[in-house]
Structure 1
């Protein structure tokens, strides 16, 4: 049984002036400055330069064949361009996972399209295939086939790839694979970022590796990569003067950011292993907690980078809650975060259709993200373990 006393002061062994343990901070590898200096030395510091070309090529090599990478200013920009490549427009249906960060859904509204939200299933917390098919049938009954399905690999856990792709192919609806959080994760030994008709990965500051801010769009053809690059650079046509026939965007990654990315790619495998070691740590600490459930890979087909380690508080007689657990960590200078609030709960999106049994709402109501940075030290882990042990009988 887990309990909280009325006197939480017993947990205040650690003081706020001590080092803060962050949820998922940037973790530099050491060589990033070399590539940044190369950009300065060559005076290519904006949206052109060798770092961008090399960064794209290295990721293409990492992901494998039929992966054509366009480096962009954010993962959000990548989703937006994916919708543009699929010709999504006003009043088109776009199906999207509800349990995700808002950036997965906002680009749908950029194009004045209509989002249709899908609940999670229990094994991966990602898009439920049954609810997805219900949504597709609903859209067809309205006289319009959805233009795209946006899947998410939440917290680094791959979605139910076989089941979702089967529905996508049967109804001939393209997949936009949002692997913002899943660089290095795999399903059946195939990397996330290679499953969608178009895929995206984020390099925001809190991701497994970072370019300070940025993302990539992964296309399956060189034609789509060329089109994406054109749209990402203000749709400037290939002339000696500035000539524009359609709306473009200022979405290209800078040469400096790409330099950071090259340095970060050198330590990617180390960062994945460190995050997975964090998961092993939490698995060991929480194994005797009946009410705190650690989110884990459902079977051997799934390989998660465990970008964030997450738990849910379960049981009818639990006195502890996610709010109280978060408060205890906060008082001890440790950052945690609630799970993503589902899109169908957000004021911005409450009016749109939702399909499922609201498992995502249940997860939001009971879950917490724990510190998972690749720079988590043994001292940090000891502090986290000490606090958890103090709330356990």
Structure 2
């Protein structure tokens, strides 16, 4: 029996043709016409002046912070409910991540708690050059409030929009929020270049700095000259070809992820103690991953029980991100904690959400969920 993935890549003949076109252009190494076109097309879609295609979203975060001069001695508040890449990138610069707990309803960085953290850091006279909010599971963070806080404390916002391409907040698309933003094109995202990412900004100097650092900080002379440390972070021209084809298909892929969200909402509507996470006001989300929250006292089972049942049926599911402040590698990092992110980690489970799921696969997932819920209801009765 073939396993059903949580969010596998959605490929078509268009991507195959795009790779062949990029190959035939002769630009096999990084850089090339497909990279240029990919950057321009994404910048135009999101209303940004500059886009720099890179090898990963992590690379975009790292260089975005370096472009602002973030380094040792600095503190960078970020969401504790995130993948490790966010915190790792801050650490690469020598700065200290400060983890801020989640809003229990949305899972996003809690603006009230961020305000408290910023106030305390100002009292301590700690430099806070940047804040890195994270768009969790395809929903934009509250950039209206976070942006206001950042301005009052003279900090800049680097939006980690790795998960949210296609989503909006306050009528502004993910990727355009903040002083700069990053995207991820990892294989499990709403669109992919196999591996890849992008830095987006309206600041020409910051974009130029990121581009320079991403190409090993090579000076513009005929021979190889380097006056500072650089990085090999540019995106391959072949992979940019895949990105161009994926971008053309993005809206349709987002619609299919939305269809999965709606199907799960109908399926759990009458199941006590189970609800779709982030369901309220989700019209502008991209539905990258649809997750359910399970209240074990009401449901009579936990998220781990549901995950085990799906695994037994050959269906991948996954707990929500384990909060960074609970990760052994970051146990000494400062954090403002309410317990909200930890509760979401314990009670949340992401379900198969990929736009490439076939009708047969969707039916298999739905049947497995119905069987599990039905058997639990019979046992309770």
Q: TM-score, normalised by structure 1?
A: 0.92
Following superposition, the deviation at residue 189 of structure 1 comes to: 2.2
Equivalent-residue separation in structure 1 for 2:90 and 2:233 (angstroms): 17
Alignment counterpart, residue 170 of structure 2, candidates 183, 188, 193 = 188
Following superposition, the deviation at residue 39 of structure 1 comes to: 2.4
What is the 5 A alignment of 1:112-261? 112-261=94-243
Following superposition, the deviation at residue 317 of structure 1 comes to: 4.2
RMSD value, Cα: 1.3
Which residue matches 1:102?
A: 84
Answer yes or no: is the 8 Å Cα contact 1:30–1:263 preserved in 2. no
Equivalent-residue separation in structure 2 for 1:84 and 1:297 (angstroms): 36
Is residue 306 of structure 1 aligned with residue 287 of structure 2?
yes
Equivalent-residue separation in structure 2 for 1:170 and 1:144 (angstroms): 15
Is residue 345 of structure 1 aligned with residue 326 of structure 2?
yes
Following superposition, the deviation at residue 112 of structure 1 comes to: 1.6
Equivalent-residue separation in structure 2 for 1:168 and 1:145 (angstroms): 13
Bigger Cα displacement from structure 2, 31-40 vs 261-270 = 31-40
Give per-residue Cα distances to partners, 1:133-169, cap 9 Å, x unaligned: 1111121122123111000110001111211111011
Structure 2's unaligned 5+ residue stretches are none
SS at match of 2:133: strand
Bigger Cα displacement from structure 2, 123-132 vs 68-77 = 123-132
Which residue matches 1:363?
A: 344
Which residue matches 2:36?
A: 53
Which residue matches 1:29?
A: 12
Answer yes or no: is the 8 Å Cα contact 1:124–1:160 preserved in 2. no
Give per-residue Cα distances to partners, 1:66-87, cap 9 Å, x unaligned: 4310000000000000110111
Answer yes or no: is the 8 Å Cα contact 1:136–1:145 preserved in 2. no
Answer yes or no: is the 8 Å Cα contact 1:29–1:267 preserved in 2. no
**How many corresponding residue pairs?**
374
Q: Which has the higher helix share?
A: 2
Following superposition, the deviation at residue 315 of structure 1 comes to: 4.8
Give per-residue Cα distances to partners, 1:16-72, cap 9 Å, x unaligned: xx22211000011321222222222222111121000000011011101x4310000
Following superposition, the deviation at residue 327 of structure 1 comes to: 0.6
Answer yes or no: is the 8 Å Cα contact 2:310–2:316 preserved in 1. yes
Answer yes or no: is the 8 Å Cα contact 2:8–2:354 preserved in 1. yes
Answer yes or no: is the 8 Å Cα contact 1:131–1:355 preserved in 2. yes
Equivalent-residue separation in structure 2 for 1:186 and 1:160 (angstroms): 10
Which residue matches 1:373?
A: 354
Answer yes or no: is the 8 Å Cα contact 1:234–1:249 preserved in 2. yes
Answer yes or no: is the 8 Å Cα contact 2:187–2:193 preserved in 1. yes
Following superposition, the deviation at residue 287 of structure 1 comes to: 0.5
Answer yes or no: is the 8 Å Cα contact 2:296–2:302 preserved in 1. no
SS at match of 1:152: coil
Bigger Cα displacement from structure 2, 107-116 vs 333-342 = 107-116
Which residue matches 1:332?
A: 313
Equivalent-residue separation in structure 1 for 2:31 and 2:192 (angstroms): 19
Answer yes or no: is the 8 Å Cα contact 2:271–2:299 preserved in 1. no
Following superposition, the deviation at residue 199 of structure 1 comes to: 0.3
SS at match of 2:330: coil
Equivalent-residue separation in structure 1 for 2:111 and 2:173 (angstroms): 20
Answer yes or no: is the 8 Å Cα contact 2:186–2:196 preserved in 1. yes
Answer yes or no: is the 8 Å Cα contact 1:297–1:304 preserved in 2. no
Q: TM-score, normalised by structure 2?
A: 0.95
Alignment counterpart, residue 316 of structure 1, candidates 269, 292, 297 = 297
SS at match of 2:349: strand
Give per-residue Cα distances to partners, 1:168-199, cap 9 Å, x unaligned: 11112100100000000011221011111110
Equivalent-residue separation in structure 2 for 1:389 and 1:34 (angstroms): 40
